[in-house]
């Protein structure tokens, strides 16, 4: 097996625990840490807070944690996309607040149907994102400057949209509020979902194996695909069982995870996704290879702002209102920190959309754990800042290790 084969995750020898461990050690030595630091960090955080308060890992607290993670976690998906290009969007909080304000005004004051109000909120994000992309590609304005200006401008537009009242309460009987707060999968549906996820994963692996075999390329074994699918079903079913001890799997966190899986498919399995990584890794090389860099930039900024708008809609539903502080406070910082802590490189070209999932779980676990042990808010900011610095340091060290090993 060539060096290229050994670095191809589709060809990793996973026929035995020993082979998996050997591959893991080889990846660590080459600086390819992937999601390992954030997963280890999440396990450590859960163990520490459980030792300090055994209610931390109760099913009730984990259900609440999943609900609290979904809104900013949705915004963080867009941050992962712009970071893959080596860019940044500092205005996602303001865009989410403005989109929530558009939703509330159209729904409460104008009286439009809920679907139309949601569509208008998402279109607001789409227009803003496309504007960012055009300014960045046509006029060469750095994304840092554009989005910093957007942070201020769209915060002002949010205040203007809300008017002198400043706060708009959504109708208490709105299906959107029920979706975000009171809709949970019944137990049988959660176990059926585990089986469906495992089956789809197996079919995808089997299709990949057959395609490689048909092309006379080396491929992983079918047995390994079966083992992985069974382990995946067991893991999801175990999570479902534990959450079902309380209210179960919430519809909003389920939507968040489904969007992450969908975006992961787009990034890894489509031409557009491969072009995003190529542009983020080396923009000039991508341009010389015939990739339309401008189009990639505009599409990524547009999707980032749409995800910010969707996060704003979900936050409005979760809080059942929109106010002048919606999208403010630490929304920006949490969304960006989640993507970085999750393992997305600040230097572009490396990372996974699952960073938004694990990074957000880390941040929300810290918040939940500190609240349970009665620690003041300032400690949470200090701990979060420390974790963020640690994540960036690990990213820098792994980047140096990849360069040293010739794989970066």
Residue 167: strand, helix, or coil? strand
Q: How far apart are CA 402 and CA 408, in angstroms?
A: 4
Residue 16 inside a domain? The answer is no
Contact call for residues 88 and 147 (beta carbons, < 8 A):
yes
Q: What average pLDDT values come out for the chain (408 residues) when binned by 10 residues?
A: 49 58 65 74 90 91 93 94 93 94 94 95 96 92 92 93 89 92 93 94 87 79 86 94 93 95 92 93 90 94 96 94 85 88 83 89 89 81 80 73 63
pLDDT value, residue 27: 65
pLDDT value, residue 3: 47
Helix 251-269, helix 293-319: angle, nearest 10: 170
Q: How far apart are CA 126 and CA 309, in angstroms?
A: 8
pLDDT value, residue 4: 47
Nearest Cα neighbor of 274 from 289, 261, 259 is 289
Residues 79, 85, 86, 87, CA torsion sign: negative
pLDDT value, residue 147: 93
Residue 20 inside a domain? The answer is no
The total number of structural domains that make up the chain:
1
Residue 173 inside a domain? The answer is yes
Residue 150 inside a domain? The answer is yes
Element holding 168 (H helix, E strand) = strand 167-169
Residue 359 inside a domain? The answer is yes
Residue 33 inside a domain? The answer is no
Which runs of consecutive H residues, i.e. helices, occur in 139-250?
Answer: 143-162, 175-181, 187-214, 222-244
pLDDT value, residue 166: 84
| Domain harbouring 379, CATH code | 1.10.3470
Q: Which two tokens stand for residue 75?
A: 């915004």
Residue 226 inside a domain? The answer is no
pLDDT value, residue 19: 64
pLDDT value, residue 350: 83
* pTM of the complete model: 0.89
């Amino acid at each position: 097996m060539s060096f290229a084969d050994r670095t191809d995750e589709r060809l990793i020898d996973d026929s035995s625990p020993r082979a998996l461990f050997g591959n893991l050690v080889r990846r660590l030595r080459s600086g390819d840490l992937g999601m390992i630091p954030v997963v280890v960090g999440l396990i450590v955080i859960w163990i520490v807070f459980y030792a300090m308060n055994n209610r931390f890992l109760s099913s009730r607290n984990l259900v609440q944690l999943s609900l609290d993670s979904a809104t900013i976690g949705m915004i963080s998906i867009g941050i992962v996309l712009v970071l893959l290009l080596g860019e940044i969007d500092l205005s996602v909080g303001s865009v989410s607040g403005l989109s929530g304000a558009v939703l509330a005004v159209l729904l409460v004051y104008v009286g439009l149907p809920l679907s139309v109000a949601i569509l208008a909120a998402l279109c607001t994000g789409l227009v803003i994102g496309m504007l960012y992309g055009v300014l960045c590609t046509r006029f060469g304005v750095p994304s840092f400057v554009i989005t910093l200006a957007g942070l201020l401008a769209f915060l002002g537009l949010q205040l203007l949209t809300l008017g002198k009242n400043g706060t708009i309460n959504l109708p208490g009987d709105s299906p959107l509020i029920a979706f975000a707060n009171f809709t949970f999968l019944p137990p049988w549906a959660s176990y059926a979902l585990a089986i469906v996820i495992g089956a789809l994963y197996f079919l995808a692996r089997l299709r990949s194996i057959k395609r490689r075999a048909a092309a006379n390329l080396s491929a992983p074994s079918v047995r390994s695909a079966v083992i992985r699918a069974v382990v995946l079903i067991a893991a999801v079913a175990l999570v479902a069982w534990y959450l079902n001890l309380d209210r179960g799997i919430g519809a909003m966190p389920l939507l968040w995870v489904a969007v992450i899986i969908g975006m992961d498919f787009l990034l890894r399995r489509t031409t557009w996704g491969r072009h995003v990584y190529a542009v983020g890794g080396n923009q000039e090389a991508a341009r010389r290879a015939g990739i339309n860099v401008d189009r990639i930039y505009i599409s990524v900024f547009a999707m980032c702002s749409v995800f910010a708008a969707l996060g704003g809609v979900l936050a409005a539903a979760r809080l059942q209102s929109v106010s002048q502080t919606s999208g403010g406070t630490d929304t920006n910082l949490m969304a960006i920190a989640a993507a970085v802590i999750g393992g997305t490189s600040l230097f572009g070209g490396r990372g996974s959309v699952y960073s938004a999932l694990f990074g957000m779980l880390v941040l929300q676990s810290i918040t939940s754990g500190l609240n349970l042990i009665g620690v003041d808010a300032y400690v949470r900011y200090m701990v979060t800042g420390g974790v963020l610095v640690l994540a960036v340091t690990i990213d820098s060290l792994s980047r140096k290790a990849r360069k040293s090993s010739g794989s970066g």
